[in-house]
Chains A and B, each alone.
Chain A
Amino acid sequence: MSVLELKNVNKTFGKGHKKVEALKSTSFTAEKGEVIAIIGPSGSGKSTFLTIVGGLLSPSEGNVIINGSSLTDLSEKKRSKVRLNEIGFVLQASNLIPFLTVEKQFKLLDKVKKNNMTPEELKVLYEDLGIEDLKNKYPSDLSGGEKQRVAIAKALYSNPSLILADEPTASLDSDRAFEVMALLRNETKNKNTTTIVVTHDTRLIGYCDRVFKMNDGELRLES
């Protein structure tokens, strides 16, 4: 069973002559252990794709299936549960809560969700991502690279089956960007999850198993 399956999904905005097809009819699957890149210029429909996959936006037509369950028919409350239990987000501007220390970012997840990593697993994750010395720091005390590493750890902490990363390296220099991508790839392989990275940075495609190109709302396999 595929972790993610899109069946003839499309998304249009507006009506009549103002109608814009942000995502043309798309079918897509992602398997366990895969790192997939979606590349394309700004406004090509990458973010629309990602937000539909993440259950933040409903498609106009078609079906999104995560681990065999259709996301499209669910209420917002149930989609929210799917996001909490099945999906880890790594966002461009980091998904850290500004008033929580790194350690407490994980405690928050413990408050809202069960079956997160054990303390021992978290310790290993801290070490893998090189953030063990940052536990008592607030996000404002972290560099861009450190923030993204913590964000990746946070996305992985709840043992999601799917990680969605939206321009995760946008605010980083080249060295840091490669470091973050390497981490994402390693953790995806180690934990046998699936990662979809949306980016316009073609230098990162070397870290991905499959690369899709989005152009004017049309998704095509590149390599």
Chain B
Amino acid sequence: MFLAWNEIKKNKLRFILIIGVLMLVSYLVFFLSGLATGLKDLNRESVDKWQADGIILTEESDKSLLQSSMNLDQVKEVNADESAVLGQISAIAREGDKKANIALFGIRKNEFLMPNVVEGKAFSKEKEVVASDALKEEGFKLGDTLELSSSEEKLKIVGFTNNARFNAAPVLYANLETFQEIKFGKGQNSNMEEQINAIVVRGNIKNSVSDKDLEVIEIETFIENLPGYTEQNLTLTFMIYFLFIISSVIVAIFLYVLTVQKISMFGLMKAQGISNLYLAKSVIAQTFILAFLGVAVGFILTLLTGQFLPAAVPVSFDIVTMLLYGIVLIVVAILGAVFSVLTIFKIDPLKAIGG
């Protein structure tokens, strides 16, 4: 640490440049991880809110909530600690000039899918909805009457709930009757009015369904099968992994160039009997200092940037994930220093001092 820190102090500009490069790489990694988390939340936050273990869909739906359709009576055949029925449609909600893509969840008020209300009140009758507070960013407010693209019915916002987006669309929570009227129309077909999309279950889900037409899937599997969810995550994750590799290569190149410039100095020290191990530790310590400072500044800068981003940008910083990525960045930077360490091991002190 002694050699490492003193060299940094003496050659501030050179090392500030390296720290700057590492800071930019870590800033990009943190920002991408924030974007990945934000986009994940955008897709799954309403599902996470269920705190459920599984979801029962029809087998032929291929794990798609929208494609699944079952009779309300089938809930009686479900064997789980807790169960809740769910109907879902996607639509465009409009109020005057304001419009937004929404997902309408038809639920029973007394079951666990009923969300917490952070503003206003819970729905108490038909045509009333509790809306995701994400709609407030679109200009919607309590008391607004919404027209849905797929229905003649009008819905009134009586309350707002937080963290309620499904597959990037804000959720409207209504009772089952409202859902069925919107989906099938009032009095169109009494059989159809008994249809729901899924049954959400808590507890041990293994033997929760006996009907061969139904299948129970774990919530995580359900989320992974949301349209575009896995593809989007994989893309961002690969970008982050590539950035890890890139940062390792950048550090390796910078340190290698620095080491080559100092070959005669390392040779002198080796000639004086200073061991390879001490010099290697010094290079590793220097890399740690540079990577730590770069990552720390990148971390702070990312959080600061987050404060000034418009709400429309789907960024959500998960501090634990960011800290983990920060540690990985420091580790890969140290791996990048291995090249320099090997170079030091190969330096012949005799040649270095001109013998």
Contacts and interface: CB of A to CB of B under 8 A. Distances in A.
Contact of A98 (B265, B272, B274, B350): B265
12 contacts: A51-B350, A80-B270, A83-B271, A83-B273, A85-B273, A89-B272, A95-B268, A97-B3, A97-B265, A99-B9, A99-B10, A100-B10
A1 interface: no
Contacts, number: 68
A111 B274 CA distance: 10
Contact of B272 (A57, A84, A107, A138): A84
A92 to B, nearest CB: 8
Interface in A65-102: 77, 80-85, 87, 89, 91-93, 95, 97-100
B285 to A, nearest CB: 12
A97 B269 contact: yes
A100 B6 contact: yes
A159 interface: no
Contacts of A20: none
Interface in A90-124: 91-93, 95, 97-100, 104, 107-108, 111-113
B265 A81 contact: no
Contacts of A113: 273
A112 B278 contact: yes
Contact of A138 (B10, B273, B278, B355): B10
Contacts of B75: none
Given A56-B355, A100-B6, A108-B3, A84 B273 contact: yes
B121 to A, nearest CB: 69
A217 interface: no
Which range holds the interface residue count of chain B? Answer: 20 to 34
A22 B10 CA distance: 41
A57 B350 contact: yes
A47 interface: yes
B349 interface: yes
A51 B270 CA distance: 13
Nearest to A47: B355
Interface residues of A, number: 31
A118 to B, nearest CB: 20
Contacts of B271: 54, 56, 83, 89, 91, 95
A112 B355 CA distance: 24
Contacts of B355: 47-48, 51, 56-57
Contacts of B354: 92-93
A80 B6 contact: no
A175 B6 CA distance: 34
Give the one of B9, B272, B275, B350 with max A CB within 10 A: B272
Contacts of A89: 271-272
A85 B353 CA distance: 19
A91 B338 CA distance: 30
A77 B275 contact: yes
Interface string B269-306: 11111110010000000000000000000000000000
